Chain A
Amino acid sequence: MRSGTKRSPLLTLLTSIMLLYSLVPLAWLFINATKTQDGLFGSFGLWFAGDFALWDNVRETLTYDDGVFLRWLLNTLLYVVLGAGGATVLATLGGYALAKFDFPGKRAVFATVIGAVAVPGTALAVPTFLMFSNLGLTNTPWAIIIPSLISPFGLYLMWTFAAEAIPGELIEAARVDGAGELRTFVRVCVPLLAPGIVTVALFTMVATWNNYFLPLIMLKDPDWYPLTLGLNSWNDQAATAGGQAIFNLVITGSLLTILPLLLAFLLLQRYWQSGLAAGGVKD
């Protein structure tokens, strides 16, 4: 790449529009999280109202209905740690095995995984519900965690990543030096796979954190709701006879809900970028 490449005004413009498109909703969310319920309806949406009620809103969000928001936060964390964490571990193990070992039926596995990537999770939600209902697992955390463990895309990503990132010679060398398969994997391969693991972890984390449809049909008990369903039930509260409208808490709750994801992205960005770029160039 030459330095001092001429800037393209058109590309700059398009990028700026994309930037605005991405940032305006965030700005809206933050601005409106500072308003009271009355302020929301009495002021312009993209600017602050008179009172700065962010801290009051945060306090009320965390304490409303006996602090049910914190319960939902813990539920979401549970689903992310066990579900997305488990999915990452499984994808890493499976991807490594598929990339580095030859066994009969590998092509069939490949076809199945590619096919599974193409099926959206939403389409599987109802059959999954019926299956879990027969197992008596609906309305329990397992109904969310077990389906979250499956990430065909993550498996595919780890597979291609492992194929590129781990030279076959390295594994050979480790074996020659007398390392067992597990030791080879944990001590030699996992460090090499780290950027891929972080990438898959981020993907599955975001998917589990934002999961809405599956919990919607699996869970009836608000005590097991993740944040997505909980916030939606707060939002619905305004739409019932005699219900209390708490739009300010819905908005503040949404802001609090995306903060952990923002943090995760900022902290893990480094790994993620190298993960995406790896394998892109053959040397």
Chain B
Amino acid sequence: MAITRRTFLRSAAAVSVATAASGALAACGTDDNPSAPTVSANDVQAALEKGGTILVWAWETTLKDVVTSFQAKYPKVKVELVNAGTGDKQYTALQNAIKAGNGVPDLAQIEYYALPQFALGKSLTDLSGFGAGSLDGTFTPGPWASVKAGGGIFGLPMDSGPMALFYNKKVFDTHGIAVPATWDEYVAAAKKLHAADPKAYITNDTGDAGFTTSMIWQAAGKPFSVDGTNVKINLADTGSAKFAGLWQQLLTDKLLAPVGSWSDGWYKGLADGSIATLVIGAWMPANLESGVAAAKGDWRVAPMPQWTAGGNATAENGGSSLAIPKAGKNNALAYAFLKYATAEEGVKIRVDKGAFPATNAELKSDAFANKEFPYFGGQKVNQVLGQSAAGVVSGWSYLPFQVYANSIFNDTVGKAYVSSTTLSDGLKAWQDACAKYGKEQGFTVS
């Protein structure tokens, strides 16, 4: 096959984004007051009693057990859980299905960064009419803000990824490095570690859009703002500049392992100690336990390093919602399962399987907070992660074409990782490319 996976995904994402964004504008022009369908709790109850089949597209593996338990509780309902691809691939498939007008699932897993694109593209059902507004206070602030767009509620948070510092204690102890509490200390630790062992790096990074936007988020940057069809992009604001200044030091001194996240080399580096820390979402423990079993006992979790000593600012990294596509057929039944999986019994089932919750009740429960993780040497990891969930900086938003924007990240910002281009120049190039694309899609970009 001549076409590589990367180029294929990129072009596929571009195609899907184009349709989503142009749909957004067509709809925005004609329909200022989105008519959310009204489905009452009684309707949902009636649908559950009547029964039927719903199709759910999700790659999240813990949902399987939720489906089993849901079907046991409501024997007349059949939930067909299909993994239609992970991330980008599933979005492309979803976009194609919506475009083709058939095969659209009743529920789809959509990551927070991609949700605005589908929501503003009028592809998703506004759940306000289902009474989802009454769930205010159920979810932690970060994810709850992420599912709201343009005055509607377009999904319910399934999990969340408040960030924390995962570090290899064995490596830190060997080289006498203290756990960094600020970003300055982090850079100092990076230098000390690499000087002590040239094969070891503080972390890996080859240019990751999700990580970069989360870092800017924590630094209180607000590079993207959306108001109807008006989009503002400023990747040189204070927060973005703070991040670029910090990360440039690590890039210039070659203190970042040139290993892409999620690659086999990444798992190897996490296992053998050559990648000593990860600043990443709270879902990471499950990945470490299953993918890096050899390093059991080596890793610990600490709060995300801060810009000002003593601060507690964090950001969300990753995490998904479940949303109801408009073209889905059985809305009432879909909402019943959606609520079950994200706000009712399903939450506990998934948390027991290693998912990180987005609900306050689970986060604050004693069982959750006091769970000792043998993988982390018995540390009560969730205490650190739970605190992180409370410190997520408010006011962040993604672009209404973030899937496309992230797909071109490596062509622009990525250059800073492989050439003499600076990170701030790279961010500028990303901004220009995003603005150009936004205009082509009919947004007013400034």
Q: Which residues of A contact B (CB under 8 A)?
A: 37-38, 40-42, 120, 122, 129-130, 133-134, 136, 138-139, 212-213, 217, 220-222, 233, 236-245, 247
Contact = CB atoms under 8 A, between A and B. Distances in A.
Contact of B283 (A217, A238, A242, A245): A242
Interface string B78-91: 00001111110100
- Interface range, B side: 35 or more
B367 interface: no
A139 B283 contact: no
Contacts of B281: 241
Interface of B: 1-3, 8, 57, 59-62, 82-87, 89, 93, 96-97, 100, 102-103, 159, 161, 262, 264, 267-268, 271-272, 281, 283-284, 286-287, 290-294, 318-320, 354-356
A220 B103 contact: yes
Contacts of A120: 2
Contacts of B2: 120, 122
A239 B294 contact: no
A136 B96 CA distance: 13
A244 B320 CA distance: 17
Nearest to B161: A241
A242 B354 contact: yes
A236 B86 contact: yes
Given A41-B271, A217-B96, A233-B86, 14 more contacts: A41-B294, A42-B271, A42-B294, A129-B96, A133-B100, A134-B100, A136-B102, A138-B100, A212-B1, A213-B3, A220-B57, A241-B284, A242-B62, A244-B291
Contacts of A244: 61, 290-291
Q: Tell which of A37, A38, A220, A238 has the most Cβ of chain B within 10 Å.
A: A220
| 8 closest A-B pairs by CB | A245-B291, A239-B262, A241-B283, A41-B268, A38-B294, A244-B290, A236-B86, A242-B286
B61 A237 contact: yes
Contacts of B8: 213
B268 to A, nearest CB: 4
Contacts of A41: 264, 267-268, 271-272, 292, 294
Given A122-B3, A241-B281, A42 B87 contact: no
B318 A247 contact: no
B60 A247 contact: no
Given A138-B103, A221-B82, A241 B87 contact: no
B159 A242 contact: yes
Contact of B267 (A134, A238, A240): A238
Contacts of A139: 103
A221 B290 CA distance: 26
A240 B102 contact: no
A169 to B, nearest CB: 45
22 contacts: A38-B293, A41-B264, A41-B267, A41-B271, A41-B272, A41-B294, A130-B100, A133-B102, A212-B1, A222-B83, A236-B59, A237-B59, A238-B267, A239-B86, A240-B59, A241-B161, A241-B286, A242-B62, A242-B286, A244-B290, A245-B290, A245-B292
A136 B86 CA distance: 24
Contacts of B271: 38, 41-42
Contact of A245 (B84, B103, B267, B354): B267
A236 B9 CA distance: 13
Contacts of A240: 59-60, 86-87
Nearest to A244: B290
Contacts of B355: 242
A275 B61 CA distance: 49
Contacts of B286: 241-243
B60 A242 contact: yes
Contacts of B318: 241
B303 to A, nearest CB: 20
A247 B293 CA distance: 13
Q: Tell which of B82, B86, B286, B354 has the most Cβ of chain A within 10 Å.
A: B86
Given A37-B293, A41-B268, A212-B1, A242 B103 contact: no
A5 B3 CA distance: 43
A232 to B, nearest CB: 8
A122 B4 CA distance: 12
Contacts of A40: 264, 268
A120 B3 CA distance: 11
Contacts of A38: 271, 293-294
B287 A241 contact: yes
Contacts of B290: 243-245
Contact of A42 (B59, B96, B272): B272
B60 to A, nearest CB: 7
Contacts of B1: 122, 212-213
Nearest to B280: A241
Contacts of B267: 41, 238, 245, 247
A184 to B, nearest CB: 41
B307 to A, nearest CB: 25
A37 B296 CA distance: 14
A245 B261 CA distance: 13
Contacts of B103: 138-139, 220
A217 B206 CA distance: 29
A204 to B, nearest CB: 17
B21 to A, nearest CB: 20
A114 B281 CA distance: 54
B11 to A, nearest CB: 10
